[in-house]
Structure 1
């Protein structure tokens, strides 16, 4: 038998040696999308195949042996792999982009890299999609370090706000594809003007502190760097619908061609969002679209973006008065909105709205000049036009440049009227970046921008109760503004063994003027010309590929905004601000834990701090203080407890102080000013502790349950730390109302629950189901406030206003991907 077995084996050896084997697999890009039409070749002897519609390929009838497998696709870097074939193999390959896209060059010019000595957080499209149930963009960022978000309507749809390290949106620099988004005059970023922008965003980097040089207004608290939709190589169509509490609903339809002929792509989105709001009449009707077309050449890329947003929101920017929110007998004590009240009929004006349309046009171009040199430039234009309309009870005619009118023997000096305050603006310019990498351990970037803004502010009286003989659309003021903004910056990163040396310097020139008659019928003629020099330097030491320690120093300068000029008397115009920012930290990344710790010390000169009051359109009023600082410690981390269970956490502990501050209170009894001095006091709206937590569990494939929490510590709403002027006490009638007594926001701890499940069927690539329950424990809290204290009858009256946030509420979603 042994002899027979040996003989049979010997006879079969040639057959076994010539056994026919196979190589199969799938080709995808870095986003995990299949690449149909990719070419796969093997050598020895040469054979080729093309991937099918799902990106799959196969070779059969191959003999055992050594082979060279190569995969290539237009626009991607080819990949080559050596294979020792001894049995059937499944080889999946991922191809990297082979062309430097305009988005990559333009955005990277103003972004921190992996080892930069800068505190930053990156969010991917997938991160944003998890939380995108229709709330404004700031609410998708509220799990990042040192961030506090607020909502006028209480439910995150409509006007929202964001603060980073206690700094409001006027000092948070926002760019979209490297192009400034902050309003040139107010310097705020109104994401309500671009509803559902998150559905067209590929990724975001949030930098804290001064950060890298960027275009537009300087970053004093942080920067938000947005990159919109990039290339998707396969055709797709998506339908997303969300609906929930307070009549909230979001509908989004997206589609794209994928890469056509290896050179063209077209992507588009339309969205509609409606919400009644938690606060009475704080409704929002929002619409937007986004279209992006691109051409890809061998060494160049051209992309055109056109996107637009339309918003009509019922005004809720005053908040709720302390005497209302503190009245326990009222069922509407936390939702009452006084704006639009018609005194004679005790009803509300239906069109007390903010109405605005904003159109954006971007043309992005890049060229890979050589392996060492690449250029990217962008042309942009933004057109905005709109108004806010309001009903005015018994308003004085002199406020409109009108003399009293005699009608039927009666002299009319005041009347009920409706007015519109208009803003019609244009913003356009050019941005550029030239990246040079002469050697692998050295890269340099030269970038900058020149932008121009022109804005017309004017007011119309559109109707009056009494016939004043002025007709409709009587224009009672007009104030035009112009602003030129030029900057140029250079940055270099040099890797020297385990060290990275970083240097960044920026020059910025601003010319701003406005002229005419403002809404208070005063001569608005003002002009300011400012020159800023902003150097930055840092060093990073890399322990290994996964961990480093860094330190940096940066200088930032920031101009006052329009309201700072308008709200100040001629003899005391606001000064520009200066910030010296010291940062140091440690970062690590691994398969189980990824996180970091960052320490900061931000030393300000002439910081424009919030007084606690708001002007007539809900914008905060600010004043310069000579010496102030912010110092703190930021922590963030993510631990993979098991393959199914993850925990992400952030925490910021800080102290935010003004030195030698003096607060003045108006004594209406004799029109005198009563001063209160502070050797050191807390800066308004700057909690000493903020934190967040996300515990996520994936019980099944495609499913996730997340428990999301955030804690925001106590915040003062002015700079007095709730101290009353010496010798004056709260009026006795207000002593039982804590909302009238205290000028601060209580700390709050709020938790949400998010459920997601996705699956596919034969005709649908992905079906996604989602449910988010916000404020699951129905915590009563206020995220924002304002105060207007004065002295009356020998007592302090605060006149506080607060912005309550919604109790337990939900949004459910359904998405279909084809």
Structure 2
């Protein structure tokens, strides 16, 4: 199959992040992919930044000016959407709730780093981008390495690595004030200033910002702040110290439940048979004391995750260098949802005729309950699930140049993590309290203390726990010890560069259940204690690669690697219990890749082919279950024994025929499949086993040969392309337009759809095309260092209606499922673009916009 030809390369017109063509805001010149300011960062600190025509990995790099110009009010990962094999969506549509996949792997299996420091959650690998929205303001370079990547750390970057390099304290003196506006009351203001370096080596940088408003989705209000402070000191040429403090405290109302297609259509206020893309079933209305209807969110998120880092670079001599980072990250916050039942119904039993919660009915039902006399869980409330942590680490890297060709590096990455997980009452929904009986140390007690999720926590040292008497549902802690060592040997000359890397790591997990009595016997006859004791898991990886520059235009590379990856904590202690997984095993990942690059003054192009096999994977997948009483229950499934095979090809190119015009293009094709079957167990949100396929909560999942979809409510495309252009008709004016195509998009796997041998595989969602445009203009003042920049962006220009993510795989019924041709034709008329309307999906946003004004001084 001929995937792309020369004509496509030369007419490609899109924003390609495969090359760096934007200069810093204060410069006019355009820089090539071999940008010297990028290469100067290579040997600084502990970051592993890929060099063009040297590091044998597939890489894309974005500069700060591109993020500032084009991100607007999009989700931070969306700036990567024109990168090969990357798919970023807004998921449910709440602020910062976006998801990202790379080569078919989701964010928990993509190594996300800030200045070389890993930030994936140490218990589950997740990355919540709502905690990192401030990075859009302080990132100087964003580099994506697809596949194994060049990081020497003992991290299993199955899909790839995303590394944010933030501004340093010693940037040149100057500042900027920005104002941004957009759809749905989006408003963002920010201020940043750099002092520059003083004669005695001191420098500092500060940034503060606030944004608020709503998103395109109903009732998704939010408020977010960001602050960044960097202090640098370079006493001499041997030593450089950089201290950094940053955080982005926020709260936002969410849409976490993917509605059915039929409900999007049913609850469209226009009643025109089209889906109402803004529809959100996770909120409702109640009547306040003044008699007014007030919106109330059931699902929301709030978090603050301050990070402090101290970097020390020591140039020991001309050949040796030691880089060390000490860091701390104390996260505070959680997410809300409903808990309990009243009147025999959960919250989904109280929808009104517009598909929103009828809180007046809930309040009335709750007020009729004598909570002291009733059974536990007999009122319906909003709970907040707290997920706080304290995280400390040290990362050190010693580099030594043996001679002009050979060098090596060795180092260590050590971390300590303590996570706090419990539930508290967030809103009583009119009840006098909530009776809980989950804590075996306390007799069933009535809790009526309410915690407001909109009260942001700015203190990184306090607020980690509440009194046990106010905790409900569950209360457990996770303790993780991580020790690792790594090494790399590298050879390099003008033509050839090659490396071999290896790392070993030990992860020790301990689960602490504060609701358990030591020595209690479970229903399965197992004796458990409050503390499980540490379970040590050993892992390792080894990888190598080589790049050969054929001439000044052509280069080829290859890499190969094997990972023995420790499972996440919820696989070590599954079902949220104090019992060790009896079938615990490391996950095994083998990956290989080859690539070709072409560089010239006008055309740059890359081609990559890869294959990754992932065995013994364990997955926890959030789900919504259809119950026999007609209600929908939120919960999760634990799936083990998964094997996946991902292979594909990637092409990206930029073509610049004139100084004022640049074309870009990208194409990626993948074939991602499950290999063999797996087994799954199902639970509700409060960790109670639920039976959805029979008399047991355990079932076989028939996945062999099924296309890989995402977990939770995400989807994975196996074909993407983009075309676009950037035009600069006059000095300081820039206009761009992009087209993006997404195809072979598969819905996520769900336990109910794959529980029989006749399962029809993952549901393929309709392909879609999107267009974006933007413009920016710089107004210079007499002082060359002072200028205004005004810009605007329009996303989804033609208001295309498309499904971005699917939560279920319900295939359209065949004709033999009906008693008559008339019934079959009536059913066919209900299909949405050939898809059964009972499928739960997220529609992408319609047309949105943003505009900004900034002043640099």
Same fold flag (TM > 0.5)? yes
Q: Answer yes or no: is 1:710 the counterpart of 2:740.
A: yes
Contact 1:308 1:360 (C-alpha < 8 Å) held by counterparts: yes
Partner of 1:106: helix, strand, or coil?
coil
Q: What is the rounded CA distance, in whole Å, between the counterparts of 1:253 and 1:449 in structure 2?
A: 34
- Cα distance change, pair 558–311 in 1 and its aligned pair in 2 (3 A): farther
> How far off its partner does 1:553 sit?
0.7
- 607-616 or 532-541: which moved more? 607-616
> How far off its partner does 1:625 sit?
3.7
Partner of 1:470: helix, strand, or coil?
strand
Find 2:479's aligned residue among 478, 482, 494: 482
Q: What is the rounded CA distance, in whole Å, between the counterparts of 2:372 and 2:61 in structure 1?
A: 69
Contact 2:250 2:302 (C-alpha < 8 Å) held by counterparts: yes
> How far off its partner does 1:488 sit?
1.4
Contact 2:547 2:557 (C-alpha < 8 Å) held by counterparts: yes
Contact 2:592 2:611 (C-alpha < 8 Å) held by counterparts: yes
Q: What is the rounded CA distance, in whole Å, between the counterparts of 1:407 and 1:33 in structure 2?
A: 64
The match for 2:779 is: 759
Q: What is the rounded CA distance, in whole Å, between the counterparts of 2:148 and 2:673 in structure 1?
A: 18
> How far off its partner does 1:566 sit?
4.0
> How far off its partner does 1:660 sit?
2.4
The match for 2:448 is: 472
Find 1:417's aligned residue among 367, 381, 388: 381
Contact 1:105 1:375 (C-alpha < 8 Å) held by counterparts: no
Q: What is the rounded CA distance, in whole Å, between the counterparts of 1:507 and 1:419 in structure 2?
A: 41
- Cα distance change, pair 612–315 in 1 and its aligned pair in 2 (3 A): closer
- Cα distance change, pair 654–294 in 1 and its aligned pair in 2 (3 A): same
The match for 1:749 is: 769
The match for 2:457 is: none
The match for 1:802 is: 841
Contact 2:611 2:648 (C-alpha < 8 Å) held by counterparts: yes
Contact 1:667 1:673 (C-alpha < 8 Å) held by counterparts: no
Alignment map for 1:357-436 (pairs within 5 Å): 357-392=304-339, 394=341, 414-436=378-400
Bigger-Rg structure (1/2): 1
The match for 1:535 is: 542
The match for 2:586 is: 576
The match for 1:509 is: 506
Find 1:557's aligned residue among 516, 540, 564: 564
Find 1:588's aligned residue among 587, 598, 618: 598
Contact 1:420 1:459 (C-alpha < 8 Å) held by counterparts: yes
Partner of 2:550: helix, strand, or coil?
strand
Q: Answer yes or no: is 1:130 the counterpart of 2:69.
A: yes
- Cα distance change, pair 350–610 in 1 and its aligned pair in 2 (3 A): closer
Partner of 1:323: helix, strand, or coil?
helix
> How far off its partner does 1:567 sit?
4.4
Contact 2:91 2:842 (C-alpha < 8 Å) held by counterparts: yes
Contact 2:721 2:741 (C-alpha < 8 Å) held by counterparts: yes
More strand by share: 1
Q: What is the rounded CA distance, in whole Å, between the counterparts of 1:617 and 1:275 in structure 2?
A: 30
Q: What is the rounded CA distance, in whole Å, between the counterparts of 1:148 and 1:132 in structure 2?
A: 15
> How far off its partner does 1:216 sit?
6.5
The match for 1:218 is: 156
- Cα distance change, pair 672–167 in 1 and its aligned pair in 2 (3 A): closer
> How far off its partner does 1:670 sit?
6.4
The match for 1:183 is: 121
Give the number of the structure with larger relative contact order, counting CA–CA contacts within 8 Å between residues 6 or more apart: 2
> How far off its partner does 1:500 sit?
2.0
Q: What is the rounded CA distance, in whole Å, between the counterparts of 1:456 and 1:762 in structure 2?
A: 56
Aligned pairs, how many?
710
Q: What is the rounded CA distance, in whole Å, between the counterparts of 1:460 and 1:108 in structure 2?
A: 40
Q: What is the rounded CA distance, in whole Å, between the counterparts of 1:798 and 1:751 in structure 2?
A: 27
- Cα distance change, pair 429–420 in 1 and its aligned pair in 2 (3 A): same
Q: What is the rounded CA distance, in whole Å, between the counterparts of 2:148 and 2:426 in structure 1?
A: 45
Q: What is the rounded CA distance, in whole Å, between the counterparts of 2:40 and 2:555 in structure 1?
A: 27
- Cα distance change, pair 627–729 in 1 and its aligned pair in 2 (3 A): closer
Q: Answer yes or no: is 1:681 the counterpart of 2:677.
A: no
Alignment map for 1:664-675 (pairs within 5 Å): none
- 536-545 or 424-433: which moved more? 536-545
The match for 1:41 is: none
Contact 2:748 2:809 (C-alpha < 8 Å) held by counterparts: no
Q: What is the rounded CA distance, in whole Å, between the counterparts of 2:152 and 2:92 in structure 1?
A: 32
Q: Answer yes or no: is 1:321 the counterpart of 2:276.
A: no
Q: Deviations over 1:499-524 (max 9, x none)?
A: 222111111111112120589x9978
- Cα distance change, pair 700–609 in 1 and its aligned pair in 2 (3 A): farther
Alignment map for 1:620-769 (pairs within 5 Å): 623-661=639-677, 677=702, 679-684=704-709, 685-719=715-749, 743-763=763-783, 765-769=786-790
Contact 2:46 2:323 (C-alpha < 8 Å) held by counterparts: no
- 625-634 or 320-329: which moved more? 320-329
- Cα distance change, pair 447–113 in 1 and its aligned pair in 2 (3 A): farther
Partner of 2:341: helix, strand, or coil?
strand
Q: What is the rounded CA distance, in whole Å, between the counterparts of 1:516 and 1:396 in structure 2?
A: 31
Show structure 1 runs of 5+ residues with no match: 1-29, 35-94, 731-740
- Cα distance change, pair 622–218 in 1 and its aligned pair in 2 (3 A): farther
> How far off its partner does 1:367 sit?
1.0
> How far off its partner does 1:555 sit?
1.3
The match for 2:177 is: 239
The match for 1:105 is: 44
Contact 2:75 2:90 (C-alpha < 8 Å) held by counterparts: no
Q: Deviations over 1:206-251 (max 9, x none)?
A: 1111222344642010111121103555321101111111111211
Partner of 1:440: helix, strand, or coil?
coil
> How far off its partner does 1:623 sit?
2.5
> How far off its partner does 1:758 sit?
1.0
Contact 1:237 1:255 (C-alpha < 8 Å) held by counterparts: yes
Q: What is the rounded CA distance, in whole Å, between the counterparts of 2:547 and 2:330 in structure 1?
A: 42
Contact 1:137 1:196 (C-alpha < 8 Å) held by counterparts: no
Show structure 2 runs of 5+ residues with no match: 1-22, 28-34, 347-367, 436-444, 450-469, 523-527, 626-631, 683-690, 710-714, 819-834
The match for 1:65 is: none
Contact 1:682 1:721 (C-alpha < 8 Å) held by counterparts: no
Contact 1:694 1:707 (C-alpha < 8 Å) held by counterparts: yes
- Cα distance change, pair 435–322 in 1 and its aligned pair in 2 (3 A): same
> How far off its partner does 1:100 sit?
8.2
- Cα distance change, pair 350–298 in 1 and its aligned pair in 2 (3 A): same
Q: Answer yes or no: is 1:306 the counterpart of 2:227.
A: no
Find 2:407's aligned residue among 427, 440, 443: 443
RMSD of aligned C-alpha atoms?
A: 4.0
Q: What is the rounded CA distance, in whole Å, between the counterparts of 1:262 and 1:33 in structure 2?
A: 26
Contact 2:564 2:586 (C-alpha < 8 Å) held by counterparts: yes
Contact 1:687 1:714 (C-alpha < 8 Å) held by counterparts: yes
Contact 1:372 1:436 (C-alpha < 8 Å) held by counterparts: yes
> How far off its partner does 1:136 sit?
3.1
Q: Answer yes or no: is 1:811 the counterpart of 2:850.
A: yes
Q: Deviations over 1:725-760 (max 9, x none)?
A: 779899xxxxxxxxxx99443222111001111121
Find 2:280's aligned residue among 323, 333, 337: 337
> How far off its partner does 1:427 sit?
0.5
Partner of 2:69: helix, strand, or coil?
helix
The match for 2:464 is: none
> How far off its partner does 1:678 sit?
5.3
The match for 1:602 is: 612
Q: What TM-score do the two structures reach when normalised by structure 2? A: 0.75
Partner of 2:677: helix, strand, or coil?
strand
Contact 1:563 1:621 (C-alpha < 8 Å) held by counterparts: no
